[in-house]
Amino acid sequence: MRVFVCMSYVPDTTTKIRFKEANTQLDDASIQWVINPWDELALTRAVELKYDAASPVDEVEIVMVGGVRCEPILRKGLAIGADKATRIDVEPLDAFQTATQLATYLQGKDCGFIVCGIESGDYNEAAVGGMLAELLDYASVSSVSSVQFDGDAPVYQRDVANGKEQVKVDGPAVLIVQKGFARVPKIPNMRGIMTARSKPLDVIPAIEVEPLVEFVEYAAPPAKGRVKMLNTPEELVRSLSDEAKLL
Amino acid sequence: MSILVYIRNVGGQLKKQSLELSAYAKAMADALNLDVTGLVIGTMADGELKKLGNYGMSRVLKVDDEQYNQRVNRVYTRIVEQAVNKTDAKYILFPDNAQGKAIAPRLSVRLRAGFIPQVLDLPSSFEPFTVKKRAFTGKAIATVTAHTERVILTPMLNSFGLPENAQDLEIQSFEPHIEEPDSRLELVGKQLSEEGVQLADADIVVSGGRGMRSSENFAMLEELAATLGAATACSRPVADDGWRPADEHVGQTGKIIAPNIYFAIGISGAIQHVAGVSGAKCIVGINSDPEAPIFEVADYGLVGDAFQIVPELNEVFRKHMHEKK
Amino acid sequence: MNFQLTEEQIMIQQAARNYAQRELIQDVIERDEKAIYPTEHIRNLAELGFLGMLVDPKYDGGGMDTVSYVLAMEEFSKVDSSIGVIISVNNSLVCYGLEKYGTEAQKEKYLKPLARGEITGAFLLSEPGAGSDATSQQTKATDMGDHYLVNGVKNWITNGNTASVYLLMAQTDPGKGHHGINALIVDRHAEGITLGPHENKMGMRSSDTHSVQFTDVKVPKANRIGEDGFGFKFAMKTLEGGRIGIASQALGIASGAYELARKYAMERKTFGKPIIRHQAIAFKLADMATEIEAARFLCLKAAWLKDQGQPYGIASAMAKQYAADMAMRVTTEAVQIHGGYGYVKEYHVERLMRDAKLTQIYEGTSEIQKIVVSRAIESGDI
Ligand SMILES: Cc1cc2nc3c(=O)[nH]c(=O)nc-3n(C[C@H](O)[C@H](O)[C@H](O)COP(=O)(O)OP(=O)(O)OC[C@H]3O[C@@H](n4cnc5c(N)ncnc54)[C@H](O)[C@@H]3O)c2cc1C
Ligand SMILES: Cc1cc2nc3c(=O)[nH]c(=O)nc-3n(C[C@H](O)[C@H](O)[C@H](O)COP(=O)(O)OP(=O)(O)OC[C@H]3O[C@@H](n4cnc5c(N)ncnc54)[C@H](O)[C@@H]3O)c2cc1C
């Protein structure tokens, strides 16, 4: 069973975010790009399933929409254990344009399921997975926290408001995964790092798609007022109720 | 034309966020001279729905059909789409949570409507539609425009408040036409979680970090949470070490929440943690280290040993809650 | 000239950093305090391939270059330099020695499991009476025809207990002086080997260090590395590369301490401002950052020379001496910047300061490195 992992690349969380061109564009000069943390967990689990003899997953392919600068990130994904990577050669502009590129590539491709991280740590859209499912007319299962197998049929566990549910899907599904899908991201081993360059990394041209929304300007979030240091629990309760009026 | 609000149905109950969404929609509606219509899927009593009328909603479409009690994203998307067509909605609002995020993007594709999640404010313009949203895990605010005919938004909780605005609420039944009810998704199991306040919806959250030292010590946080009617949460290493369940972990790789009060107890305040709570109205830091970074983002701070402060705090809150009653 | 790391080098650096910052940090204080050997971490690091990262893949190694090795050693040692020395001894002394000078049969039998990290090795040169002066070996390997009979004592042996394979230097023909020394592969569990007590060390406390006593230990001839009498040259050649490992370890200790000090200096306030705004503290940090960068370049240069197949003995001596002495200065200042907090275990810097001291002593003291460099000056090699 083949599994696709849709991956995005985001600035490392500790990177300072700055903008340029009169605050209309991200200043990417000093940014360290990393695999979007949720996607890294998704990939980790997919690779674990591949090595788990009891699971039917035997092939993991990464798909990424992005320019040439994201190739090191893709090779890191290959080092972690994916078998193949595909880069769709265009800068992502919004979730719709990204999802459409992915859907065009994935349409009709035989697979067990497609995994997307819940959101990407850049434009915080949380939308690509859902859009992709609609474009492919697949079921989407969100808040997925694990995948088990009943024979060869995947059983997805999802978090719902009042508990957990296990669902089965007849046909391929788009999974939108979150925390719990894998515990910690897999660290690539030497063999993985060494073989990453010999694995296929295909670059395919993008299609023309108009984005639906446009990011026109950025600003820093408003500076927080200074913390008010209190001395006793009584003071805290008083401040919360009389000053902040939250109790 | 109208503004359509998707109302989350949690076992027949409304969530406060739906009231907030209604109030948000009403503010937009007033600027545009439109009405606010809600859509609720699955069974919910009229008495419960009536509450929405206090916050600016004038009509609710209810799809009161048991077969839809089970959420199937693909089917729900089509139901909302039909409601959009029926009400000629130009703006469609979803809550900014897992359910909203599960349906809104699908709807966006069907309607080719611009989708703007994590909205922080009322729109600054309608022509073109322009609004501010959260970006880069809270490290920036982006201004976004949509040139599409329809726009889908998920406003963040606490981004607007809850002004009352009583309307005569009309409740109508709505029967969607779902040609092929999606048989592709089959529920094979379900476990209800224990009673308790759900983290994503909680007004008050009591959260503990590695400073709590062991899973047993979280008992005092649970007590405090019980006193306050709060949910419990934790930092990532706490969940990783199995002191708390994984779904309580808050932050960049966990849940993003926006309660009114967030108690960060024995949590250093790492940037990845704070990314999950930057939407909170008020952050209270309790830490033995006066230099802990949590105090850079907190509104109120108490320096000291959590093991001493938390039980005391619990007592003081208990008295306070008692007096309020 | 090109200072750009390759993608693979960056991946290895990140892998080591992730493991160190995520896993090693968790229990490093306890391991130091109770002198616990990091069995589980070594197993995990073996799975990731770090125990034999320099060995050719044909012998089950990682096939990485020495530059990657420097980067990984720095990252591990930032958090836990005991892990650093365990990896260093295994990679750059034991595996390197076997790969470079061993026979195919020796590689098949010993190098492969060492490179996979299933077992670890130790390097036995020092003796109670032969430290800096390694020529005066007292341990005897008497030629008995088809085998050697070993008698004597080695001390300060890193991995002395946990290792499965020993590379032992011993004197076969005292008449030939150091040309009579042989290098032998010895099974740690061979009959006649007894260990002295676990040394209760000042630093690097979770690496295990023992003296090892040999009483009539039989070692087959087939276990000799190289020609008869090659042992001393073997040891010296191997240590040239080992010094790159220890230099990078010192580099890591220093940069770990510096990162902690920098963070602390930005957070700690006195007289109304963060202490980094007091010039006395800011200048300390500036010196630390500069010296660390200088040491890093010395380490990378030595590694690069080795990777290019050029002589690197002098470069590795310079790197080791400078990095070790620098690590001592930097860690001492890191404790100073922390004030009283630096003097307790919770803040990590006191451990790094204790660990730094050893880098000036083992695999050739700083003084011995200066002898190497000054001889090269006199002979006109540099
Ligand atoms: C890619 C990435 C993603 C991440 N995502 C997340 C995330 O989503 N969520 C998250 O939480 N973390 C995340 N992290 C981890 C994050 O960087 C921090 O390591 C983590 O938040 C620290 O957790 P903590 O505050 O509980 O522990 P610590 O940093 O160890 O802090 C413990 C605190 O407790 C205080 N303390 C100790 N004893 C007491 C006492 N008796 N009374 C009061 N206070 C006391 C200490 O002063 C200290 O400030 C992520 C990291 C990475 C690299
Ligand atoms: C924790 C630890 C782990 C070790 N691990 C190993 C190991 O795995 N395998 C191994 O074989 N050895 C190991 N050693 C031994 C280490 O390499 C020696 O301790 C080191 O070479 C110094 O030898 P020594 O202790 O006999 O000091 P000495 O040689 O007695 O030196 C004492 C002092 O005199 C100085 N000195 C000596 N000669 C000169 C000179 N000609 N000019 C100027 N100054 C001089 C030295 O620099 C030093 O300051 C380890 C040591 C320790 C402490």
CATH architecture label of A2-222: 3-Layer(aba) Sandwich (3.40)
CA distance C170 to C184: 8
DSSP state string for B187-223:
EEEEEEPPSS--GGG-SEEEEE-GGG-SSTTHHHHHH
Token look-up 């070993």 returns: C150
| Secondary structure letter of residue C199 according to DSSP | P
| Secondary structure letter of residue C127 according to DSSP | B
- Identify which of B45, B42, B40 has the alpha carbon closest to the alpha carbon of residue B57: B40
CA C350 to mean position of chain CA atoms: 20
CATH architecture label of C122-231: Beta Barrel (2.40)
Residue B181 pLDDT level (bands cut at 50, 70, 90): low
Establish if C47 touches chain B: CB-CB under 8 angstroms. Answer: no
Residue A124 pLDDT level (bands cut at 50, 70, 90): low
Is position B189 within any domain? no
pLDDT at residue B183, as a whole number: 64
Return mean pLDDT, chain C. 96
Distance (angstroms) between ligand 1 centre and the Cα of C76 equals 21
- Tell me whether residues A99 and B138 touch, CB distance under 8 A: no
- Identify which of B80, B75, B18 has the alpha carbon closest to the alpha carbon of residue B44: B18
Distance (angstroms) between ligand 2 centre and the Cα of C321 equals 13
> Does the pLDDT value for residue C160 go beyond 80?
yes
pLDDT at residue A121, as a whole number: 66
Residue A12 pLDDT level (bands cut at 50, 70, 90): confident
Of the residues C199, C363, C367, C378, only one is catalytic, namely: C363
| Secondary structure letter of residue C180 according to DSSP | G
Per-residue CA distances from C211 to B158, C124, C126 (Å): 67, 10, 9
CA distance B135 to A217: 11
Per-residue CA distances from B32 to B87, B156, C85, C142, C345 (Å): 15, 21, 71, 100, 64
- Identify which of C26, C24, C31 has the alpha carbon closest to the alpha carbon of residue C206: C31
Check whether residue B213 and residue B162 sit in a common domain: no
CATH code of residue B21: 3.40.50.620
CA distance C42 to C159: 12
How many CB atoms are located within 10 Å of the residue C40 CB?
10
The angle formed by the CA atoms of residues C288, C28 and C165, to the nearest 5 degrees, is 100
Check whether residue B127 and residue B37 sit in a common domain: yes
CATH code of residue B255: 3.40.50.1220
pLDDT at residue C38, as a whole number: 97
> Does the pLDDT value for residue B218 go beyond 70?
yes
Greatest mean pLDDT among A29-38, B193-202, C190-199 lies in: C190-199
- Tell me whether residues A213 and B145 touch, CB distance under 8 A: yes
Active site residue C104: no
Nearest-by-CA chain B residue for C265: B291
Is position B276 within any domain? yes
CA distance B279 to B118: 10
User: Closest Cα to atom 25, ligand 1: which residue?
Assistant: B267
Domain ranges of chain C: 7-120, 122-231, 233-379
Establish if B118 touches chain A: CB-CB under 8 angstroms. Answer: yes
Overall number of domains in chain B: 2
Q: Taking the CA atoms of chain B, what radius of gyration do you get in angstroms?
A: 21
The enclosing H or E element of C28 equals helix C25-34
pLDDT at residue B160, as a whole number: 74
pLDDT at residue B318, as a whole number: 93
> Does the pLDDT value for residue B180 go beyond 90?
no
Check whether residue B145 and residue B214 sit in a common domain: no
User: Which residues touch B113 (CB under 8 Å, ≥6 apart)?
Assistant: A212, B92, B107, B146, B148, B149, B150, B151, B152
CA distance A230 to C326: 44
The finding on whether B285 has its CB within 6 A of some atom of ligand 1 is no
pLDDT at residue C20, as a whole number: 97
Residue A242 pLDDT level (bands cut at 50, 70, 90): confident
| Secondary structure letter of residue C324 according to DSSP | H
- Tell me whether residues C49 and A76 touch, CB distance under 8 A: no
Within 8 A of A45 by CB-CB distance, chain B residues are none
- Identify which of C298, C320, C167 has the alpha carbon closest to the alpha carbon of residue C243: C320
CATH number attached to the domain at C7-120? 1.10.540.10
Q: Which fold has domain C233-379?
A: Butyryl-CoA Dehydrogenase, subunit A; domain 3 (1.20.140)
> Does the pLDDT value for residue A225 go beyond 80?
no
> Does the pLDDT value for residue A119 go beyond 80?
no
pLDDT at residue A219, as a whole number: 93
Burial class (CB in 10 A: 0-12, 13-18, 19+), C129: exposed
Mean pLDDT of B202-222: 95
Per-residue CA distances from C48 to A191, C62, C112, C246 (Å): 8, 9, 15, 21
Is position B29 within any domain? yes
Question: Where on the phi/psi map is residue A149: left (φ > 0), alpha (ψ -120 to 50), or beta?
Answer: beta
Complex ipTM tops 0.85? yes
Mean pLDDT of A172-194: 90
Closest CA–CA distance from residue B209 to any residue of chain A (Å): 17
- Identify which of C71, C66, C60, C79 has the alpha carbon closest to the alpha carbon of residue C11: C71
CA distance A98 to A114: 15
DSSP state string for C156-173:
EEETTTT-SEEEEEEES-
Within 8 A of B291 by CB-CB distance, chain C residues are 267-269
Partnered with residue C269 across adjacent β-strands are C274
pLDDT at residue B196, as a whole number: 66
Q: Are C358 and C39 in contact (CB under 8 A)?
A: no
Phi, psi (deg, nearest 5) at residue B306: -55, -35
Residue C58 pLDDT level (bands cut at 50, 70, 90): very high
> Does the pLDDT value for residue A170 go beyond 70?
yes
User: Which residues touch A26 (CB under 8 Å, ≥6 apart)?
Assistant: A11, A17, A18, A19, A20, A218
User: Which residues touch C227 (CB under 8 Å, ≥6 apart)?
Assistant: none
**Least confident residue range of A62-71, A139-148, B172-181:** B172-181
Amino acid (1-letter code) at residue B286: I
Distance (angstroms) between ligand 1 centre and the Cα of C373 equals 47
For the record, the structure tokens of B281 come out as 């109205």
> Does the pLDDT value for residue A148 go beyond 70?
yes
Q: Which of B139, B173, B207 is the last residue of a domain?
A: B173
pLDDT at residue C183, as a whole number: 98
- Tell me whether residues B11 and A162 touch, CB distance under 8 A: yes
- Its sign, for the CA torsion A48, C78, B290, B134, is negative
For the record, the structure tokens of C108 come out as 């098949």
pLDDT at residue A243, as a whole number: 85
pLDDT at residue B272, as a whole number: 86
Nearest-by-CA chain C residue for B294: C267
User: Which residues touch C244 (CB under 8 Å, ≥6 apart)?
Assistant: C66, C69, C70, C92, C299, C302, C303, C306, C312, C316, C319, C320
Mean pLDDT of B280-286: 94
User: Which residues touch A207 (CB under 8 Å, ≥6 apart)?
Assistant: A100, A101, A104
pLDDT at residue B70, as a whole number: 77
Within 8 A of C61 by CB-CB distance, chain A residues are 190
Mean pLDDT of B197-204: 83
- Identify which of B103, B200, B98 has the alpha carbon closest to the alpha carbon of residue B152: B103
Mean pLDDT of C9-25: 96
Mean pLDDT of B65-91: 91
Q: Are A132 and A24 in contact (CB under 8 A)?
A: no
Distance (angstroms) between ligand 2 centre and the Cα of C368 equals 9
pLDDT at residue A17, as a whole number: 87
Return mean pLDDT, chain B. 91
Q: Are A185 and A41 in contact (CB under 8 A)?
A: yes
| Secondary structure letter of residue C56 according to DSSP | -
> Residues of C numbered 256-315 whose beta carbons fall under 8 angstroms of chain B's beta carbons: which are they?
267-269
Helices within C80-145 (DSSP H only): 81-88, 96-101, 104-106, 112-116
Residue A14 pLDDT level (bands cut at 50, 70, 90): confident
Helices within chain A (DSSP H only): 37-51, 71-80, 95-106, 128-136, 190-195, 233-238
Domain ranges of chain A: 2-222
For residue B291, the ligand closest to its alpha carbon is 1
Q: Taking the CA atoms of chain A, what radius of gyration do you get in angstroms?
A: 21
Of chain A, the percentage scoring pLDDT greater than 70 comes to: 98
Residue B257 structural domain: 199-324
> Does the pLDDT value for residue B7 go beyond 80?
yes
Q: Which of B207, B238, B273, B308 best tests ligand 1's pocket when mutated (most atoms within 8 Å of CB)?
A: B273
- Tell me whether residues B113 and A212 touch, CB distance under 8 A: yes
CA distance B180 to B306: 56
Closest CA–CA distance from residue A110 to any residue of chain B (Å): 17
CA distance C276 to C141: 58
Ligand 2 residue neighbourhood (C-beta within 6 Å): C 89, 122-126, 131-132, 156-158, 201, 204, 209, 358, 361-365, 367-368, 371
> What is the three-class DSSP state of B179?
coil
Per-residue CA distances from B37 to B56, B60, B74, B185 (Å): 9, 5, 22, 29
Within 8 A of B143 by CB-CB distance, chain A residues are 215-219
- Identify which of B227, B250, B220, B228 has the alpha carbon closest to the alpha carbon of residue B238: B250
CA distance B277 to B139: 12
Mean pLDDT of A91-106: 95
Mean pLDDT of B222-233: 94
Residue B182 pLDDT level (bands cut at 50, 70, 90): low
CA distance B318 to A233: 12
Nearest-by-CA chain C residue for A76: C11
